[in-house]
Structure 1
Amino acid sequence: MYKTTRYLVSAALISAPVVASAGGFSLNEQSASAMGVANAGAAANPENATTVFFNPAGMSQLEGNNLSFGAAILNIDAELDRPTGSATGAAGAPVDGSSGGDFAPLAVLPNLYMTYEVNDSVDVGFGIHAPYGLSADYDNDFVGRYFADKTELTAIAFTPSIALNDGNGFSMGFGANLIYAEGRLSKFQDYSQNYQQAQASGYGGPAFEEGYFDVEGDDIAMTFTFGLLWEVSDRTQFGLTAQTGTELELEGEATLTNVPVPQIGAGGLNMAFTNLEEDARVPLEIPESISVGARHQLTDSVTLLAGATWAKWSRFVALDIESREQNGAISSGVGAQDKYGRPGMIGHVSENWNDTWQANVGVIWQASPAWAFKAGYAYDQTPVDEHYRTARIPSDDRQWLTLGTQYADAGSGWTVDVAAGVLLFDDVDVDEREYTVDDEPIANAARFQGTYELDAWGASVQVSKQF
């Protein structure tokens, strides 16, 4: 049967590197003021309007009306170690190719948040930000091109929020996240097994050229956020925030080029080549999450922060490309449903992700009324199961070290935050194969193996104003 594709879809406001800077395809880069302490205690430390994202209950502790806007850049140097990289086609022959180059492009992630004080008990807010992200672009001669080429995926979240407080140090907040996501994924198509089958049937023509699979889709979905903030004393407070999960149904069109079509003529078996199109759908799971945070003012000038986040990434069992047509050209014409073991399938990737924890600590030194200096550390688990790593997500646990500074002009109400950090990774081994929907290996020789070398840095700037 003819081969189909493997698929991954995720989200970002401006596509973020495929080795995202938080667990799964979540993005940490939402605020320069929080980035300075590696997001430590963000659920309990409402410095400015970015609390709309981290804990909407924090709006109750902001004075007056507030505006925060900024952008982060994230640069990941991610490349296959070529001596270790190898692949075989479906028919078992070695695949020639390169390391694919640095496949993770520079990402720019803007954000904007605002809050409005309705009265002493009620505050409302709004945010625009990028909660998730993945992006990759290998060179066309990448040795693993039959498993991955381009991943160009974008998303934007609009977040209206409200906070209520009792006037005695306790507040709660609610938010809705309206997420628009769109994605594109492509890979080269291996027809070596089809050529082998054609030869066995009497075809004597030249070998088949590669094809190309490309799919695009978009959708809108909603999640909800709930937050609590408790001021235990003048120096200590705790925060908690929880977010619901959802499923995006990315709907669009899939295309497959250069598909060999057998033709029987007077001279025997010949081949024509055609392009196929089909309406497709890709369900994408967004996980539930819970974050806790603590802030303690150790001295008049030193504040300690700590926090942790749990995310239910085990929702993400598989990435399926499903047909939206009856007897579609690709799903029925190239034997995909027989290959993956379910009717109406265009493609399938077994993921079997795991739930994750992120833990972080940070410190703020208020050197003067205007200047503060920050440092932070986070340890972030990857949800990717090591037995199901792919060329699209060569991910492993990572550590995050950050530094930041803040300048606040009390007279004007303007504050500027600048932060930078590095991500530390171990080398990541990938051994990718094709599986059925029951996680059984498909009976062909398609395989990609290699070790990835990863390192990354990020920086962020943010301007805030209190009115």
Structure 2
Amino acid sequence: MNKKYLTLIIAAAMATVSATAGASGYRFGSQSVSSQGTAEANGAEAADASTIFSNPAGMSRLEGKQLVGGITAVVPHSTYNDEGSRRFTGTSVGGLTSQDDYVPKAVAAPSLYYSQKINDQLTAGFGMFVPYGTNLSYDWNWAGRYALTNIKLTSITLNPSVAWKINEQHSFGFGLNAEYMKATLGQGVDTPGSIAAAQAAGTGTALIRQIVALGGNPAALARVGDAHASVEGKDWGYGFNVGYMFQPMQGTRFGITYRSSIKHKLRGGADWDFSTVTSDAVVNRVIEAASHHEDSAALVELRTPETLSLNGYHEFNDKLAGMFDVTWTRNSRMKNIDIQFLGTDNGDEVIRQQWKNTVRVALGANYKLNEKVMLRAGIAHDEAPVRSDELRHAALPDSDRNQLSFGFNWKVTPKSSFDFAYSYLDFKDARGNYTNNCRPGLLTCTGNGETTRGTWKTHLQLIGMAYNYQF
């Protein structure tokens, strides 16, 4: 069973939102509504206190006390069509061959930022945002159930920060990151395949004798169904981020930002449910004992990817400004994930992931329509960390995507304004052909041995709104 999936997922990322993430991997796609309006191209703009996320050095440009509270709604649409998924025995898994309602219709993620200028050189701030997240809930009878039935990852980061302005050209920023992650995962257990394999190998007779000896009805084996396993885990991890901003001339800025990897030890529990495998409780207990699966604690250790961003901002005139951002993510830290079942004789489950490093490129622009309204727009291309069809798992059917964003800032009073943003993300069709290299019956490892083969098609919309206030 893929308990480690849970860990992989929870380690790789999670979020307070219940939807597929907008950025590659498990990363959530928008930590700032003003940034979303330019497709996250405005790292060097330092438009408001949300610069704490994109580049903490940008706080040195903010006056007084500033507060930004935002919320981003995620409206996903995904479909899956099976193309011949197989059990470890090589036979068809059966079940539903298409899925079109396994993601929520809409969910929302919050963000909150506060900055305060201490003197001409120092500015302090605090950020709270969603770094990662996903929520998938397939039918328990879908063709890929032995890989995954459901997963929900939630996370939130607390990011106290400080910026130091050396002079009009140079400023630095530094922040600490406290990251909380929680995940739950469910998966079918291939009991029918295990029984069929035992009967084919001639070991099914011993199972029948045991059932009879305990007063059960072995005829129930003719109608055996799936068992189900679930796992949950959570952890706090800690890291840092640093930023530098250079202004060679008025209206032109360049920035560089680094956000560190965070180590997590995800601790939780694994639960195996064989109570509905057949209608005979004795048969169910015998099958559960023969499976060698038992409820236990679970542990996975891993590190989230670090990121390095380069960005620029230039004002062409008093109305039009252009900007760019290039972000490199070291996803290669996420190699194979081992889920350990503590206190048992069960071997680890290994999820073959072997992610590759990725690059995201974004271009954006602002146009000052009048004294009250600033228009925003941006485009971006984001690579997926998945290396191949054979390494694309149902928990993250990720693929390269293109993003188109629009937004605007509306100044209500001299000290307050609203930001609105809309983004459309179109994902390349994601074909999966993932095989779990372990199979039922082995004690040296844990897994269903299934092959999940099919294609996911996804697009999603992000709708954000934020309120800005300067004290």
State TM-score, norm by structure 2. 0.87
| 1:378 matched to 2:380 | yes
Q: State whether residues 63 and 116 of structure 2, in contact with CA within 8 Å, keep that contact through their aligned partners in structure 1.
A: no
The equivalent residue for 1:311 is: 329
The equivalent residue for 2:432 is: 430
The equivalent residue for 1:462 is: 466
Q: Residues 4 and 229 (structure 1 numbering): CA distance in 2 closer, same or farther, change over 3 Å?
A: closer
Q: Residues 443 and 285 (structure 1 numbering): CA distance in 2 closer, same or farther, change over 3 Å?
A: closer
The equivalent residue for 2:269 is: 253
Residue 9 of structure 2 aligns to a residue whose secondary structure is coil
**Alpha-carbon shift at residue 12 of structure 1 (Å):** 3.5
**Alpha-carbon shift at residue 102 of structure 1 (Å):** 2.1
Q: Residues 277 and 300 (structure 1 numbering): CA distance in 2 closer, same or farther, change over 3 Å?
A: same
The equivalent residue for 1:395 is: 398
Distance 1:393 1:415 in 2: 37
The equivalent residue for 1:266 is: none
**Alpha-carbon shift at residue 147 of structure 1 (Å):** 0.6
The equivalent residue for 1:179 is: 179
Choose from 203, 221, 224 the match for 2:237. Answer: 221
| 1:324-343 equivalent positions in 2, closer than 5 A | 324-325=342-343, 328=344, 332=345, 336-337=346-347
Report the residue type matching 1:235 in the other structure: G
| 1:163 matched to 2:163 | yes
The equivalent residue for 2:316 is: 298
| 1:180-195 equivalent positions in 2, closer than 5 A | 180-195=180-195
| 1:70-89 equivalent positions in 2, closer than 5 A | 70-81=70-81, 84-89=82-87
Q: Residues 71 and 260 (structure 1 numbering): CA distance in 2 closer, same or farther, change over 3 Å?
A: closer
Q: Percent identity?
A: 28
Distance 2:401 2:41 in 1: 16
Residue 92 of structure 1 aligns to a residue whose secondary structure is coil
The equivalent residue for 1:100 is: 99
The equivalent residue for 1:342 is: none
**Alpha-carbon shift at residue 299 of structure 1 (Å):** 1.2
The equivalent residue for 2:22 is: 21
Residue 86 of structure 1 aligns to a residue whose secondary structure is coil
Residue 131 of structure 1 aligns to a residue whose secondary structure is coil
Report the residue type matching 1:211 in the other structure: A
**Alpha-carbon shift at residue 5 of structure 1 (Å):** 5.2
Q: State whether residues 85 and 143 of structure 1, in contact with CA within 8 Å, keep that contact through their aligned partners in structure 2.
A: no
Report the residue type matching 2:356 in the other structure: N
Choose from 353, 362, 365 the match for 1:363. Answer: 365
| 1:449 matched to 2:448 | no
Q: Deviations over 1:348-382 (max 9, x none)?
A: 21000000000000010001111111110010000
The equivalent residue for 1:231 is: 247
The equivalent residue for 2:416 is: 414
| 1:70-149 equivalent positions in 2, closer than 5 A | 70-81=70-81, 84-98=82-96, 99-105=98-104, 106-149=106-149
The equivalent residue for 1:286 is: 304
Q: State whether residues 12 and 131 of structure 1, in contact with CA within 8 Å, keep that contact through their aligned partners in structure 2.
A: yes
Q: Deviations over 1:290-329 (max 9, x none)?
A: 111100001110000111000100000022211232xx1x
Report the residue type matching 1:74 in the other structure: V
Q: State whether residues 4 and 300 of structure 2, in contact with CA within 8 Å, keep that contact through their aligned partners in structure 1.
A: no
Q: State whether residues 293 and 307 of structure 1, in contact with CA within 8 Å, keep that contact through their aligned partners in structure 2.
A: yes
Residue 99 of structure 2 aligns to a residue whose secondary structure is coil
The equivalent residue for 1:62 is: 62
Distance 2:75 2:238 in 1: 29
Indicate the larger mover: 31-40 or 445-454. 445-454
Q: Residues 422 and 272 (structure 1 numbering): CA distance in 2 closer, same or farther, change over 3 Å?
A: closer
Distance 2:114 2:395 in 1: 36
Q: State whether residues 4 and 189 of structure 1, in contact with CA within 8 Å, keep that contact through their aligned partners in structure 2.
A: no
**Alpha-carbon shift at residue 6 of structure 1 (Å):** 5.8
Q: State whether residues 79 and 458 of structure 2, in contact with CA within 8 Å, keep that contact through their aligned partners in structure 1.
A: yes
**Alpha-carbon shift at residue 209 of structure 1 (Å):** 2.5
Distance 2:178 2:86 in 1: 43
Q: Residues 48 and 443 (structure 1 numbering): CA distance in 2 closer, same or farther, change over 3 Å?
A: closer
Residue 384 of structure 2 aligns to a residue whose secondary structure is coil
- Judging by fraction of residues, say which structure has more helix: 2
Structure 1: runs of 5 or more not aligned = 262-269, 338-344
The equivalent residue for 1:31 is: 32
Cα RMSD for the two superposed structures = 2.3
Distance 2:112 2:153 in 1: 21
Q: Residues 93 and 197 (structure 1 numbering): CA distance in 2 closer, same or farther, change over 3 Å?
A: closer
Q: State whether residues 5 and 147 of structure 1, in contact with CA within 8 Å, keep that contact through their aligned partners in structure 2.
A: no
Between the two proteins, the alignment pairs up a number of residues equal to 433
Report the residue type matching 1:271 in the other structure: V
Q: State whether residues 374 and 409 of structure 2, in contact with CA within 8 Å, keep that contact through their aligned partners in structure 1.
A: yes
Q: State whether residues 96 and 143 of structure 1, in contact with CA within 8 Å, keep that contact through their aligned partners in structure 2.
A: yes
Q: State whether residues 89 and 197 of structure 2, in contact with CA within 8 Å, keep that contact through their aligned partners in structure 1.
A: no
Structure 2: runs of 5 or more not aligned = 209-217, 278-284, 439-444
Residue 132 of structure 2 aligns to a residue whose secondary structure is coil
The equivalent residue for 1:341 is: none
